[in-house]
Structure 1
Amino acid sequence: MANERLREALLRNGFDLEHAARATGVDPKTVERWITQGRVPYPRHRRTIAALVREAEDYLWPDAVAPERKAEIAESEVVKVYPRRSDIPADLWERLLGTPVARVEALSLAALFLVERPDFARQLRKRAEEGTRVRLLFGDPAAREAAKRSEEEQLGKGTVAARIRNALAFVRPLLGVEGIEIRLHRCTLYNSVFRFDDEMVVNTHVYGVPGGHAPAMHLRRLSDSGMFETYTTSFETVWAGASHATF
């Protein structure tokens, strides 16, 4: 089976077979077999390619890392656990939003705590102008899932939908900005995910508890990613099924 993840990662970074072959010291036909036949490279070549395309080995070759190694990596990826998302210090968000990175990705329902920051839209526009790829996923305010979340959190009818509409109003100036994409999803959201290159904040969702009162984790991806990659894959799955925002 072809390795489409590897193919896409190389293309996204502007690398061809020759470039990957030079980086790893192998023949271009070997690299081609890694892609078209799904051959798994030696560990040293996997590490080189993963670093080249800024992806985790576990993402490019899901079956190549031993389960016990994945468990060790997952534990090491956790920088800090916060009892509540509201306990995350403001300077962490300021650093994550203010540091030039290759990608910024957010999966949430509304994330008002973040988007209503006075400089949020300005910072993302600046990142995009510097070459950052920004992808934002918000809940569809008209979706049944938004109404259900209002019920589960024991809020007034339509509260979550209203929050989403408020959030969309904050990011409306970003529509059409090169490098920024905004989509709406209709998923039952189990976690909100905020990724800044190799760092990520995951806000778990607990039944009946507002997001700000639920636990959150600060993760930093390692080369053989485990938990970090799980949330990355989740983001990509939701992104693929989401609709383009036209608000």
Structure 2
Amino acid sequence: MADADVRPHQLADRVGVSGKTVTRWLADPALVPHARNRADVARVLGVEEHMIWPEAVTSRVKVGQDKELVHSYPYRSACPSTMWAKLVAETTTDMLLSGYTNYFFWTMIPDFAGIIRKKTESGCRVRFLVGDPDGEATRRREAIENVALTVSTRIRMTLEQLDRLGPLHGLEVRVSSPEDATNHVGLSVFRFDSDALVTPHLARVIGHDSPMFHLRRQSREGMFDRFADHAEELWGRGTDVRATNAQA
């Protein structure tokens, strides 16, 4: 819009929608307008539709094994926070967050703790799998990242926030086993029912600078199932943190 020197109210007039509609488009990148409106916007701005709404275009043409790939991001931080919030909000059955630290959920999604509480109260299973803050893999990763907010600190922040929630039926927390630590730190899988956000961690960059893929399950043993099975395997061998704390 800036390149075309078109203001929101002007775009609304030329496309034939209300100013509030354009405001919603700008505020929520995950919101995909009707096909006719997308075509009109692209015409007014003088660009191809896929430059503005790549997800809408790619979802129409995927027919092979990549049809489960909803979107790819060169950086995890490039995925809008509204998308994370939308996936969290729409999960009704099973949420498995198997990032190595998971701490960013509390800083990115307003009242994330309250959302988790409501999810469990409605019958949703919510699971957190984090790395061992005292483990060797954590120490190695800290040396690689070399940032002030260390990996072990971020894990402890997550565990502290979860501990504040108290005992909730449906909330489960585990630490990955020492044997799985390397696999865990190298690949984060965040599952929201039939959607998943997957981040393979590059050698020397922090999590939010690594690429990420948005997958949506379409068939058995597709990309979604393969990554989901990976996370489930790590989960199955993890240590139940809440049970350990209760015994202590």
- Calculate the TM-score normalised by the size of structure 2: 0.66
Letter in 1 for 2:116: L
Q: Cα offset for 1:135?
A: 1.2
Question: Does 2:130 correspond to 1:134?
Answer: no
- CA–CA separation in structure 2 for the residues paired with 1:225 and 1:191: 19
Higher RCO (CA < 8 A, seq sep 6+): 1
Question: Does 2:76 correspond to 1:85?
Answer: yes
Unaligned runs of 5+ in 2: 1-62
**Count of matched residue pairs:** 176
Partner of 1:152: 144
Partner of 1:236: 232
Change over 3 Å in CA distance of 1:152–1:197 after alignment to 2: same
Question: Does 2:112 correspond to 1:120?
Answer: yes
Question: Does 2:135 correspond to 1:143?
Answer: yes
- CA–CA separation in structure 2 for the residues paired with 1:175 and 1:161: 22
Q: Cα offset for 1:100?
A: 4.2
Letter in 2 for 1:215: P
8 Å Cα contact 1:150-1:160 kept in structure 2: yes
Change over 3 Å in CA distance of 1:175–1:183 after alignment to 2: farther
Q: What does 1:1-247 correspond to in 2, within 5 Å?
A: 74-116=65-107, 117-155=109-147, 159-185=150-176, 186=178, 187-188=181-182, 189-246=185-242
Letter in 1 for 2:119: R
Q: What is the CA RMSD across the aligned residues, in angstroms?
A: 2.0
Q: Cα offset for 1:236?
A: 1.1
Q: Cα offset for 1:91?
A: 1.2
- CA–CA separation in structure 2 for the residues paired with 1:92 and 1:122: 18
TM-superposition CA deviations, 1:22-62 (whole Å, max 9, x none): xxxxxxxxxxxxxxxxxxxxxxxxxxxxxxxxxxxxxxxxx
8 Å Cα contact 1:73-1:222 kept in structure 2: no
Larger Rg: 2
- CA–CA separation in structure 1 for the residues paired with 2:87 and 2:188: 16
- CA–CA separation in structure 2 for the residues paired with 1:100 and 1:205: 25
Q: Cα offset for 1:222?
A: 0.4
- CA–CA separation in structure 2 for the residues paired with 1:174 and 1:235: 24
Change over 3 Å in CA distance of 1:82–1:178 after alignment to 2: same
